[in-house]
Amino acid sequence: MAIGSIPSDPVIPAAALLEHWQGHRRLTRRVIEAFPEEQLFSFSVGSMRPFGALAMEMITMAEPMVRGIVTGEWDQMITREARPKKEVLRLWDESTEKINTLWARIPPERFQQTATAFGQYPGLVYELLLYVIDNEVHHRGQGYVYLRALGIEPPPFYERQ
C-alpha cells in the first residue's frame, strides 16, 4: 500500500496542535524544575549537553519559530548560556504566553505553506512546528535519563496538565 493513496484530508486542528504542544511544555517545565540548581548546567551523561543547555535550546527555538512563521522575521535573541534555574523558568513562562498569542495569528491555510525557518531550514509550516515539538520531546527524554542517573524520579510522561 503506497503512502500516496492515503487521504490527504487535514485531521489535526490548529488549536489542538497548540494544546498538544503546551501540554508537552508543561511537562518539560516540570523536568527543568526537577533538576537541582547546581546540576542544571553541569551534569550530563556520555559527554552530552547538560539539561539546562537543552532547555535553553528549546527556548531559542520555540517562540522564535512561531514568531518567524507569523511575522517573517527570524531571530533568536536569547543566548543559550547558563543562568539560574528561576531565570530559565521565567523565560519558559514568557515563551508560553507569547506562543499562545502568536499562534492565534497563524491563518489556518498558512500551516500547509512553505517557510524557511531562520533563513536555513525549509519546510511546510506544520512540519517546522512538529520539528520543534519533537526536538523538545527528544531532549526531554535525555533529561529523564539524567534525572534517573542523579537518583531523582522524573515527572510522569503521560501527565500534561
Interacting residues with a copy of itself (CB under 8 A): 1-20, 22, 24, 45-48, 100-101, 103-104, 107-108, 111-112, 124, 126-127, 130-131, 134-135, 137-142, 144-151, 157-158
* Smallest separation (angstroms) from a copy of itself to the CB of 144: 7
The least distance separating a copy of itself from the CB of residue 84, rounded to whole angstroms, comes to: 25
Specify the residue, 46 or 72, whose C-beta has the smaller distance to a copy of itself.
46
Question: What residue has cell string 498558512?
Answer: 110
Contact 114, 124 (CB under 8 A): yes
> In angstroms, what is the minimal distance from the CB of 149 to a copy of itself?
4
Q: Which of 36, 40, 38, 62 is nearest to 51 (CA)?
A: 40
When the beta carbons of 75 and 137 are compared against a copy of itself, the nearer one is 137
